[in-house]
């Protein structure tokens, strides 16, 4: 009896061993013919190498501000090894509940504003809406209290703020968000951090190649735990990102940076000589200048149409001097004025655009907009407009 069991066990072991051997052989054979599988294994290896190199670069360049473990340093730079960067919601049920309540509130408001709703019903609706608002406020207060240790370090679990990308309104992918930040840095962040995030790409004057930046992105993304993030991970973050008071211009600046190859576009200012020198380095495009002047193309910095033709028209009798012949008048009349002795036509035009009150064209009033130099025009836009005005030489 005993013996038979023992023999049985040994036989079992042999069987198991044989089956394993067969399985291994089948697997090897399958692996040999399964190119896709091998490709995948190869890609995984490549990925592992990218992450490894990214880790080395991160240790050498980033830890002084973002911490050894990427969890940020208080008062210095935000955590990247951080559920918030990856958009993890610790309270999906509350988020859903609030989204339902917000939907109900909208339906109620529509009903309230529809014709024929009785006053009695309106009162009922108002009472329910007040109830909803209170419930939402309570839910938000509760989830904030539930993660107090993180909230104290700047984490906000309410609304869409649990996700950095949603909070900022970033329309692209996480990869593009990280890579763009790495390439150009965030010069704007000097407003709310002691040192801004520097630009790292060689294309933006930094020390790293694009493939190196991509490896760093791979390293940062390898921190993502997907559904596996825990509250302990959240509490381990030393510093959460700061949301600029109005994120829209901030996002716009990041996007402008992305387009402009890393040079933060800035308004030209009001120093005529300095502006003339900046503009001289650029090539003005009269066709683009015409579109800008006529409001058909938005100004780069503000992304809105310029107001020039609201006051300047091709013919006379407008609020401002007529556009036709502007350049001729500058050369033949304005520069003859004693105060412009030694000025070039460009300098006069720049001055009338950025410091319009300096000199008032006879017969006109000091009505020209005053913020073109300080807020609206960057050097390229101005160069293009000047090139266009130079064609107004009839």
d(Cα 358, Cα 93) in Å, to the nearest integer?
Answer: 62
- What are the tokens at 158? 């309410």
- Choosing from 200, 223, 327, 343, the residue that interacts with ligand HEC (CB under 6 A) is 200
Number of residues located near ligand HEC, criterion CB under 6 A: 54
d(Cα 24, Cα 137) in Å, to the nearest integer?
Answer: 59
Q: How many CB atoms lie within 10 A of CB 370?
A: 14
d(Cα 182, Cα 165) in Å, to the nearest integer?
Answer: 16
- Does residue 326 bind ligand HEC (CB under 6 A)? yes
Residues in the chain: 394
Residues in contact with ligand HEC, shown as a per-residue x/- string from 360 to 379 under the rule CB under 6 A: xx--xxxxxx--x-------
- Does residue 257 bind ligand HEC (CB under 6 A)? no
Residue 378: partners with Cβ closer than 8 Å, 6 or more residues away: 265, 266, 267, 268, 299, 300, 301
d(Cα 97, Cα 357) in Å, to the nearest integer?
Answer: 57
CB of 40 to ligand HEC, least distance (A): 27
CB of 296 to ligand HEC, least distance (A): 13
Residue 154 sits at the vertex; the CA angle it makes with 82 and 196, to the nearest 5 degrees, is 75
- Choosing from 284, 320, 345, 373, the residue that interacts with ligand HEC (CB under 6 A) is 320
Where in 173-192 is the site for ligand HEC (CB under 6 A)?
178, 181-182, 186, 189
- Does residue 349 bind ligand HEC (CB under 6 A)? yes
Interacting stretch for ligand HEC, rule CB under 6 A, among 54-62, 110-118, 130-138, 259-267? Answer: 54-62
- Does residue 385 bind ligand HEC (CB under 6 A)? yes
- Does residue 382 bind ligand HEC (CB under 6 A)? no
CB of 178 to ligand HEC, least distance (A): 4
CB of 348 to ligand HEC, least distance (A): 7
Q: How many CB atoms lie within 10 A of CB 26?
A: 10
CB of 146 to ligand HEC, least distance (A): 23
Nearer to ligand HEC, 76 or 112 (CB): 76
Sign of the Cα pseudo-torsion (277, 282, 288, 292, in order): negative
Residues in contact with ligand HEC, shown as a per-residue x/- string from 299 to 318 under the rule CB under 6 A: -------xxx-xxx------
Q: What is the dihedral of CA 182, 188, 191, 193, to 10 degrees?
A: 0
- Does residue 153 bind ligand HEC (CB under 6 A)? no
- Does residue 172 bind ligand HEC (CB under 6 A)? no
Interacting stretch for ligand HEC, rule CB under 6 A, among 11-19, 76-84, 121-129, 338-346? Answer: 76-84
CB of 180 to ligand HEC, least distance (A): 9
Rounded alpha-carbon distances, angstroms, from residue 294 to 23, 197, 297, 305, 311: 75, 38, 8, 8, 11
Q: How many CB atoms lie within 10 A of CB 173?
A: 10
Nearer to ligand HEC, 277 or 319 (CB): 319
- Does residue 353 bind ligand HEC (CB under 6 A)? yes
Q: In this structure, are residues 239 and 72 in contact, taking their beta carbons and an 8 Å threshold?
A: yes
Q: In this structure, are residues 80 and 66 in contact, taking their beta carbons and an 8 Å threshold?
A: yes
Residue 217 CA to chain centroid, in angstroms?
A: 16
Residues in contact with ligand HEC, shown as a per-residue x/- string from 259 to 278 under the rule CB under 6 A: --------------------
Nearer to ligand HEC, 95 or 346 (CB): 346
d(Cα 235, Cα 81) in Å, to the nearest integer?
Answer: 11
Note the residues at the interface with ligand HEC (CB under 6 A): 58, 61-62, 64-66, 77-78, 80, 85, 164, 178, 181-182, 186, 189, 193, 195-198, 200, 216, 241-242, 293, 306-308, 310-312, 319-321, 326, 329-330, 334, 349, 352-353, 356, 359-361, 364-369, 372, 385
């Amino acid at each position: 009896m005993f013996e038979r069991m023992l023999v049985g066990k040994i036989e079992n072991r042999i069987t198991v061993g044989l089956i394993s051997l067969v399985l291994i052989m089948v697997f090897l054979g399958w692996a040999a013919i399964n190119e896709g599988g091998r490709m995948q294994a190869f890609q995984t290896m490549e990925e592992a190498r990218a992450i490894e190199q990214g880790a080395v670069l991160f240790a050498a360049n980033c830890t002084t501000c973002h911490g050894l473990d990427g969890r940020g340093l208080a008062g210095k730079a935000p955590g990247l090894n951080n559920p918030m960067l990856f958009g993890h919601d610790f309270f999906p049920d509350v988020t859903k509940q609030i989204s339902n309540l917000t939907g109900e509130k909208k339906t109620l408001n529509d009903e309230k504003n529809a014709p024929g709703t009785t006053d009695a019903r309106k009162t009922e609706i108002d009472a329910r809406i007040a109830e909803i608002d209170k419930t939402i406020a309570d839910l938000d207060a509760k989830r904030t209290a539930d993660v107090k240790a993180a909230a104290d370090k700047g984490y906000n679990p309410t609304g869409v703020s649990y996700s950095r990308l949603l909070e900022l309104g970033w329309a692209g992918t996480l990869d593009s968000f990280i890579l763009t930040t790495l390439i150009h840095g965030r010069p704007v962040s000097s407003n709310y951090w002691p040192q801004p995030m520097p630009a790292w790409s060689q294309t933006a004057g930094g020390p790293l190649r694009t493939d190196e930046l991509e490896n760093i992105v791979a390293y940062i993304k390898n921190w993502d735990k997907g559904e596996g993030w825990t509250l302990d991970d959240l509490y381990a973050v030393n510093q959460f990102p700061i949301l600029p008071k109005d994120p829209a211009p901030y996002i716009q600046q990041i996007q402008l940076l992305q387009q402009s190859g890393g040079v933060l576009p800035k308004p030209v200012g009001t120093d005529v000589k300095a502006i003339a020198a900046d503009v001289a380095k650029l090539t003005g495009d009269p066709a683009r200048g015409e579109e800008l002047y006529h409001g058909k193309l938005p100004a780069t910095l503000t992304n809105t149409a310029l107001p020039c033709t609201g006051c300047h028209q091709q013919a006379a009798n407008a609020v401002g001097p007529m556009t036709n012949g502007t350049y001729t008048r500058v050369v033949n009349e304005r520069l003859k004025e004693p105060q412009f002795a030694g000025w070039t036509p460009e300098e006069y035009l720049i001055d009338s655009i950025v410091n319009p009150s300096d000199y008032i064209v006879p017969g006109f009033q000091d009505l020209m907009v005053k913020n073109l130099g300080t807020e609206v025009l960057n050097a390229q836009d101005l160069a293009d407009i000047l090139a266009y005005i130079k064609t107004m030489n009839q």
